[in-house]
A and B are shown apart, each in its own frame.
Chain A
Amino acid sequence: EDQVTQSPEALRLQEGESSSLNCSYTVSGLRGLFWYRQDPGKGPEFLFTLYSAGEEKEKERLKATLTKKESFLHITAPKPEDSATYLCAVQGGSYIPTFGRGTSLIVHP
């Protein structure tokens, strides 16, 4: 059974204070690891897909990295508008995504 554990559950940062979110996973035959952003009252919105260990993807202040056991979402110099819940999901042989419970990020101005 595919499993995803995200940490921390909640993170508070000051504007400009860089940090990282962790996603640890176990999956039989990784097909892809996904990061989504979810704003309050909205559905998750796709950010990145990573396919193999060593791969990195960047978008504005976000950079996602992948190893064989975990992924990190690095947030550089965050702004208040980066406040959201960040969800990680893995897709194995079934091609059906399994989600973690997310990290709730609040960035204070």
Chain B
Amino acid sequence: DAGVIQSPRHEVTEMGQEVTLRCKPISGHNSLFWYRQTMMRGLELLIYFNNNVPIDDSGMPEDRFSAKMPNASFSTLKIQPSEPRDSAVYFCASSPRTGDNSPLHFGNGTRLTVT
């Protein structure tokens, strides 16, 4: 079990540029979550998918953020255009399913810095 894999680990970009974060969930897990972590606000849920379908994106800050899950083994979170206030650590997590009490399995995150 390789765990949840995120790439890149670090991303530094200039304001206005497009940023794409990638996630490979654990094989067989049907639910995928994107969280953002900052010192001020802690871990905030951005969006989650169940069986590749977006279920709740109410946490996505604004239209500059979009997420896709084209298949069970891959998801992307895109920010366009990026702004300095988007600087944070972005985590992807997966679980076997929603609707029960399965804990989340987190990747090691992507640290995004927007200058």
Q: Which residues of A contact B (CB under 8 A)?
A: 31-32, 34, 36, 41-46, 49, 51, 87, 91, 94-102
Contact = CB atoms under 8 A, between A and B. Distances in A.
Which bracket fits the contact residues of B?
20 to 34
Interface stretch (B11-19, B60-68, B71-79, B92-100): B92-100
Nearest to A50: B101
B42 A101 contact: yes
A41 B108 contact: yes
Given A43-B93, A43-B108, A102-B42, A96 B103 contact: no
A43 B48 contact: no
B108 A96 contact: no
A-side interface mostly: loop
A99 B101 contact: no
A34 B103 contact: yes
A36 to B, nearest CB: 8
Interface of B: 4, 33, 35, 41-43, 45, 48, 56, 91, 93, 98-101, 103-109
A46 B103 contact: yes
27 contacts: A32-B101, A34-B103, A36-B103, A41-B108, A42-B109, A43-B4, A43-B91, A43-B106, A43-B109, A44-B43, A44-B91, A44-B104, A45-B106, A46-B103, A87-B42, A87-B43, A95-B98, A95-B100, A96-B33, A96-B56, A96-B98, A97-B45, A99-B35, A99-B43, A100-B42, A101-B43, A102-B42
Contacts of A94: 56
